[in-house]
Amino acid sequence: MNAILIAVTGTSPEPWERRFRTLAPQRDLRVWPDRMGDVRDIAYACVWKPAPGVLARCPNLKAVLSVGAGVDHVFTDPDLPPVPVVRIVDADLTMRMGEYVVLHVLMHHRFQRLYDAQQRARVWREDRQPAASAVTVGIMGLGVLGRHAADLLRRIGFSVAGWSRTAKSLEGVATFHGADGLDGFLALTDILVCLLPSTPDTKGLIDLALLRKLKRNGALGGPFLINAGRGATQVEADILSALDDGTLAGATLDVFESEPLSDASPLWTHPKVTITPHNAAASVPSALVRNMLAQIERFEAGGPLQHVVDPRAGY
Amino acid sequence: MNAILIAVTGTSPEPWERRFRTLAPQRDLRVWPDRMGDVRDIAYACVWKPAPGVLARCPNLKAVLSVGAGVDHVFTDPDLPPVPVVRIVDADLTMRMGEYVVLHVLMHHRFQRLYDAQQRARVWREDRQPAASAVTVGIMGLGVLGRHAADLLRRIGFSVAGWSRTAKSLEGVATFHGADGLDGFLALTDILVCLLPSTPDTKGLIDLALLRKLKRNGALGGPFLINAGRGATQVEADILSALDDGTLAGATLDVFESEPLSDASPLWTHPKVTITPHNAAASVPSALVRNMLAQIERFEAGGPLQHVVDPRAGY
């Protein structure tokens, strides 16, 4: 009883299994698809994009733990049993996302792509360089990841604004919320950083109409987009239009409507686009298994699960 | 009397003059070479690479103020009069250098050049990604710029080490000093950030022998060099050798033995090199004239000049 199932697709279960066996050798561990054993024993499922129907086969399942920060990959299962789904919130993931956001904000702020092009042409020329304080980074999504990124960006010197679905307050950050707050937030924003989850509300939110509301003629000469949240929040055809008509000066995308990004996508070769393979905040077993075991042990000791997803909000 | 002279080469005096006239319209302002007037009136010289001998023509000079963080460009004048030379220490410069160091440390740490190459080849592949805490950034030069960069890098999650000529202590930073401390510092360092001034002691310090002492087989797979200090501290032929024989995995250079970097330099096209045109921390009149006026006004009120250079140390 109280077995833990590892059910992942698109990545190997092996490093997760190895880490669980190292940290909790006494636990009954099962691995989808070949080593599920008697499914009645399975109480917890640690999952990434689990195959639809797998979780419904476990009649005594008590909780589903996502090994990644997003949980949309769980809710796509039409047969998902009605048990708590928990997000992973871990300092390791939070710090990695902070690295990624700071790197790509600074690449835009410091015109790195211009200097790359100049280097190829052996051109020694110093362009204008606004101070970070003259630039506003607008962060969509003010959960743990967004708040950490906001804190780092403020320390570097940027002005920071934030938008979230529900009202939140952050020291030193101009916060906006809800549909009514969106236009005011966008009008302030030179560099838009999207860290939103994929939910029915966020689907296709980053479209041409939204991008046209970003600050025009700011200190950097044109707004930039960074999406390290979920690809479902963006309309890639609209991002391309915005880049081509000057609505956007550049974009860094870690996530896509369909992943891996298709060979045929014009994003790969667009001169204003930087592409990373959904690696902004990798889920690393060495860091995260400890976190999941702590959830399970706390729960078994009668405590609450932390970071339980609200199925209506989708995060 | 008490006139201020602006004496700059390689850059226009015009934005400096304009800013002085805006902030201190009552001051007697002179501009080299055409509008020096009666040189006996000149008490202060605000300089960037001043033409040799110009300062010696001012018999009543009381102080020389560098408009850039480095002062080596002042001491190259063989006829420099024996008056105090002051460095500029200003939050605007400090923050700009922080942006630059964080950007280029993260570009190496996050393997941005690998992902750039993969994008050109339409390759979707996630490489290993150590956490920042598994990587040590070693900063040479622990003045105001180095300490600010260390603080930002620590908050992002990096392990940080520091080396300086004389002993310094920084919270959370493993500090080393002097010739005896150098090898221990280098042995810890995955990403070396040089912020040293150009002095007789630092000339040619970053050579092949030094680079070979950096940490081998660290979490990032090979050490990286970032020089945003002064080009005279580096031996470019040695950096190229180190890149080609695997001693260095990559280098970001903002400064060079001779600037602008010659068209003929193989650094321009080396696949492991990122070049920026000495713009890590630009001296911007809108920010810095206020600082220089404050120095002059404090001095005239009987107070001390701040950040006076020790001519023997050279900074």
Q: Each residue of B239-258: pLDDT tens digit?
A: 999 999 999 999 999 999 99
- Mind telling me how many Å the CA of B56 is from chain A's nearest CA? 31
Q: Which of A92, A125, A132 sits opposite B95 (nearest CB)?
A: A132
Query: Taking a C-beta distance cutoff of 8 angstroms, is the pair B112, B92 a contact?
Result: no
pLDDT at B188: 98
Task: Return the half-sphere exposure (C-beta side, CA atoms, 13 A cut-off) of residue B74.
Answer: 32
Rounded to whole angstroms, the Cα distance separating A78 from A83 reads 14
pLDDT at A252: 98
Residues 133-192 of A with CB under 8 A from B: 133, 151-152, 155-157
Q: What is the mean pLDDT of each run of 10 residues along chain A (315 residues)?
A: 95 96 97 97 97 97 95 95 96 97 98 98 97 98 98 98 97 97 98 97 97 96 96 98 98 98 98 98 93 97 96 89
Rounded to whole angstroms, the Cα distance separating B164 from B182 reads 9
The catalytically annotated residue of B87, B147, B230, B307 is B230
Per residue in B168-222, pLDDT (tens digit) is 999 999 999 999 999 999 999 999 999 999 999 999 999 999 999 999 989 999 8
Query: Taking a C-beta distance cutoff of 8 angstroms, is the pair A16, A282 a contact?
Result: no
Q: Which of B100, B115, B279 sits opposite A126 (nearest CB)?
A: B279
Section B43-62 average pLDDT: 97
SS3 call for A176: strand
Contacts 24+ apart (CB under 8 A), B263-272: B263/A122, B265/B236, B266/B240, B267/B236, B267/B239, B267/B240, B268/A119, B268/A122, B269/A120, B269/A122, B270/B240, B270/B243, B271/B113, B272/B113, B272/B243, B272/B248
In total, the C-beta contacts within 8 angstroms joining chain A to chain B are 116
pLDDT at A222: 85
ipTM beyond cut 0.85: yes
Would residue A281 be called left, alpha or beta, if left means φ above 0 and alpha means ψ between -120 and 50 degrees?
beta
Rounded to whole angstroms, the Cα distance separating B165 from B146 reads 13
SS3 call for A122: coil
pLDDT at B287: 87
- Chain A contact present for B12, CB below 8 A: no
Q: Is the dihedral of CA B190, B226, B151, A252 positive or negative?
A: negative
Cβ neighbours of B299 (radius 10 Å): 18
How remote is the C-alpha of A268 from its chain's centroid?
A: 20
Predicted TM-score (pTM) of this structure:
0.96
Q: What is the largest CA-CA distance in chain A?
A: 68
Section B38-46 average pLDDT: 98
Per residue in B259-275, pLDDT (tens digit) is 999 999 999 999 999 99
pLDDT at B219: 96
Residues 239-278 of B with CB under 8 A from A: 259-261, 263, 268-269, 274-278
State chain B's mean pLDDT as an integer: 97
pLDDT at B15: 96
- Chain B contact present for A11, CB below 8 A: no
Nearest CA in chain A to B102: A103
Query: Taking a C-beta distance cutoff of 8 angstroms, is the pair B191, B108 a contact?
Result: yes
Cβ within 8 Å of residue B118, ≥6 positions away: A277, B124, B125
